[in-house]
Amino acid sequence: MKKKKVCILAISLDTGGAERVISLLTKFLIKDYEVTLILLSNNIEYQVPNNIDIICLGERNSLSNKSLFSILKSIAKFIRQYRTLAKQKKFDVIMSFLALPNIINTMVSSRLKHQPKIIISERCYPSKMYENNGFAMKIAKTFYPMYYNKADVLFSNSIHINLDLKENFGIKIPMEVIYNPIDVNENKRINLRDLVFNKSLNIINSGTVYNTKNQTLILKAMALSSPGEFKLTILGDGELMEDLRLKSKKLNIEGFLILEGKVRDVKSHLLRNDCFVLSSNTEGFPNALLEALSVGLPSISTNCMSGPLEMLNDNEHISIGAGDFFKAKYGILINVNDKVALHKALIYLKRNPDERKRYSNLAFERAKYYSMSKIYGQVKNLINN
């Protein structure tokens, strides 16, 4: 039986949540479909199977650090190139990830004569993403309903994202929730014997270092205790690296902050720590938190939109007082930007190794809910039905 031809359209395969999901999915998709990956920019950090056809429409960083005119010119070129490819290859299904690829996909694919199935995927919580950028919000409010509604189906990685798209951006097409997948391996999990009382609680955070991820919150919480009670490792790079160094010096905890920068094997670093902290102000679906759960690392997260409540408490509504933390089903939740609550939660885990062990077991079991085989089954069903 001839395999369906599936195209995935994305900005790049640079380090990021959507890119990581694409990398994981392609390893399964290639077994069932003839897969073509079309990238707008030739940034490739994640691996995909060798027998996938990769087509890069632009050079490395082709949409970065340019004037608005140059970006619009590049986008117009990508639309022309993509239209030509889609006509030639006659894909059966065209799947895109993130706003710009979604708009290009629906703009072009909805007018193709052979009418492929159009699947788009939103990965951020738009109302939060654009709330401090009036121009971007206006663009989203205009182009989302205009083009997203031309797709056959949309899937996101959060119930709250879908509600936001429906209520605030006029999306009327069928919408599904398919969470991000993760590899869960019994041989790559925290050794419970290591979760014992230590002089310092070793904290780890991973993600791009910029305002939205709010790693400064962790430093402020650490500074509420004597220096040395906590040690923090941050995996990732970004525009605020130097700011974090200066902040740690000002707070007199510079000797207890390790900035690793970008790393290849995140799990190996997670396994060497006692606790993971997600400090974000907003998320689409936090892969970093999911990866921590997958190795059984006890976790504390802000209850930001969106993802943490779904992951750590089955999306059951909670109320958290200022300065307090909530012991959720699979981890601990605090309010966004609450340094007092984070400090209390860290102290709680430090002084209660049995609770760290309990949350370690719960975290590992929770991660199985997002196993690759389960999530891929949902994606395959979306493609075929």
Same domain as 262, residue 173? no
Same domain as 54, residue 11? yes
Quote the CA–CA distance of 30 and 132 in Å, as a whole number.
Answer: 40
Domain edge (last residue) among 142, 177, 212: 177
Which residues touch 121 (CB under 8 Å, ≥6 apart)?
A: 18, 95, 96, 97, 98, 102, 154, 155, 156
Beta bridge partners of 231: 202
Task: Give tens-digit pLDDT for 248-306.
Answer: 999 999 999 999 998 888 999 999 999 999 999 999 899 999 999 999 999 999 999 98
- Rounded to the nearest 10 degrees, what angle do helices 17-32 and 372-384 cross at? 70
Same domain as 147, residue 292? no
Q: Is residue 80 part of a domain?
A: yes
CATH code for the domain in which residue 136 is found: 3.40.50.2000
Domain edge (last residue) among 177, 212, 231: 177
Residue among 244, 272, 268 nearest 257 (CA): 244
- Rounded to the nearest 10 degrees, what angle do helices 68-89 and 99-109 cross at? 50
Q: What are phi and psi of 377, to 5 degrees?
A: -60, -35
Residue 13 three-state SS? strand
Quote the CA–CA distance of 43 and 54 in Å, as a whole number.
Answer: 12
CB 332 within 8 A of CB 325: yes
Same domain as 302, residue 259? yes
Residue among 324, 269, 336 nearest 297 (CA): 269
Q: Is residue 374 part of a domain?
A: no
Same domain as 204, residue 279? yes
How, if at all, do strands 153-156 and 117-122 pair? parallel
Q: How confident is the model at residue 198 (pLDDT cuts 50, 70, 90)?
A: low
Quote the CA–CA distance of 51 and 235 in Å, as a whole number.
Answer: 31
Lowest-pLDDT choice from 80-94, 173-187, 321-335? 173-187
Same domain as 216, residue 118? no
Residue among 81, 34, 76 nearest 57 (CA): 81
Same domain as 345, residue 243? yes
Mean pLDDT, range 81-95, rounded to an integer: 97
Task: Give tens-digit pLDDT for 221-237.
Answer: 999 999 999 999 999 99
Edge-to-edge strands, sheet with 117-122: 53-56, 34-39, 5-10, 93-97, 117-122, 153-156, 175-177
Task: State residue 190's pLDDT score.
Answer: 85
Lowest-pLDDT choice from 26-30, 70-74, 188-192? 188-192
Max Cα separation, the chain? 68
Q: Is residue 113 part of a domain?
A: yes
Q: Is residue 154 part of a domain?
A: yes
CB 60 within 8 A of CB 42: yes
Mean pLDDT, range 49-53, rounded to an integer: 92
Same domain as 173, residue 197? no
CB 345 within 8 A of CB 281: no
pTM for this predicted structure: 0.87
Task: State residue 197's pLDDT score.
Answer: 57
Written as six digits, the tokens of 346 are 């860290």
Residue among 45, 112, 39 nearest 74 (CA): 39
Q: Is residue 376 part of a domain?
A: no
Average pLDDT, the chain: 94
Written as six digits, the tokens of 16 are 């990021």
Mean pLDDT, range 121-133, rounded to an integer: 92
- pLDDT > 70 fraction of the chain, expressed in percent and rounded: 98
Q: How confident is the model at residue 68 (pLDDT cuts 50, 70, 90)?
A: confident
Cα angle 74, 78, 81 (rounded to 5 degrees) comes to 135
Residue 41 three-state SS? coil
Q: Which domain holds residue 40?
A: 5-177
Mean pLDDT, range 151-173, rounded to an integer: 97
Same domain as 242, residue 95? no
Same domain as 321, residue 294? yes
Q: Amino acid letter at 101? A: P
Residue 104: is its pLDDT beyond 90? yes
Terminal CA-CA length for the chain: 17
Task: State residue 186's pLDDT score.
Answer: 82
Same domain as 161, residue 26? yes
Q: How confident is the model at residue 193 (pLDDT cuts 50, 70, 90)?
A: low
Which residues touch 108 (CB under 8 Å, ≥6 apart)?
A: 79, 82, 83, 86
Q: Is residue 69 part of a domain?
A: yes
CB 292 within 8 A of CB 363: yes
Domain edge (last residue) among 145, 177, 209: 177
Q: Is residue 375 part of a domain?
A: no
Task: Give tens-digit pLDDT for 366-380.
Answer: 999 999 989 999 999
Q: How confident is the model at residue 2 (pLDDT cuts 50, 70, 90)?
A: confident
Written as six digits, the tokens of 43 are 């940034």
Q: How confident is the model at residue 1 (pLDDT cuts 50, 70, 90)?
A: confident
Helix (H) or strand (E) holding 299: strand 299-302
Domain count, the chain: 2
CB 62 within 8 A of CB 40: yes
Task: State residue 374's pLDDT score.
Answer: 92
Same domain as 141, residue 233? no
Does 100 or 306 have the greater pLDDT score?
Answer: 100
Written as six digits, the tokens of 269 are 């670093």
Task: State residue 195's pLDDT score.
Answer: 59
Residue 29: is its pLDDT beyond 80? yes
Quote the CA–CA distance of 375 and 356 in Å, as a whole number.
Answer: 28
CB 117 within 8 A of CB 383: yes
Task: State residue 183's pLDDT score.
Answer: 87
Q: Is residue 382 part of a domain?
A: no
